[in-house]
Amino acid sequence: MPAAVRTAARLVLGATMVGAGVLHLTVQRSEFQAQVPSWFPLDEDLTVLGSGVAEIALGAAFVVLPQKKRLVGGLLAAFFVVIFPGNVAQYLEGTSAFGLDTDTKRLVRLFFQPLLVLWALFGGGWLRRDRSAQ
């Protein structure tokens, strides 16, 4: 895979994460609060603010620190894994947010989370065959 494709994937995902993080802190805050599972021990608003800050930091680092792309890509993949139980809870609890207003839509969304993990790993250079050329 050409390095330009990997770089584009890193930049697009990084910018998308910054955008999502900003939305966590601003106009879609209540939508994100609706996605916090009822069993999660922290306050919904605090959870949304914290995850928004994490998304901005990880996304910005993915864009502006290409020399740390493996580290940031791995952290971003881990972040996607950590928030996955919230997506499962949204499905199990039948919580509507962001247009996910049916069980089918919420279920389909679950299958996209592994793709985000792979995207972060790909952009970070984890999925290369020849690691010596990094």
Query: Taking the mean position of all CA atoms in its chain, how far away is CA 62?
Result: 12
Cβ(74)–Cβ(121) under 8 Å?
yes
What pLDDT was estimated at residue 2? 87
Q: How many residues does the chain have?
A: 134
Cβ(12)–Cβ(59) under 8 Å?
no
Express each pLDDT in 26-46 by its tens digit. Answer: 999 999 998 899 899 999 999
The mean predicted confidence, pLDDT, of the chain is 94
Cβ(124)–Cβ(70) under 8 Å?
yes
Structure tokens at 113: 């989370």
5-to-2, 9, 49, 119 alpha-carbon distances in Å: 6, 6, 32, 11
98 closest CA partner among 115, 112, 117, 119: 112
d(CA 47, CA 85): 14
What pLDDT was estimated at residue 132? 54
What pLDDT was estimated at residue 131? 53
> How many C-beta neighbours within 10 Å does residue 115 have?
10
Express each pLDDT in 69-85 by its tens digit. Answer: 999 999 999 999 999 99
Q: What is the DSSP letter of 3?
A: H
Give me the percent of the chain exceeding a pLDDT of 70.
96
Cβ(56)–Cβ(76) under 8 Å?
no
At residue 133 the predicted structure's pLDDT band, cuts being 50, 70 and 90, is very low
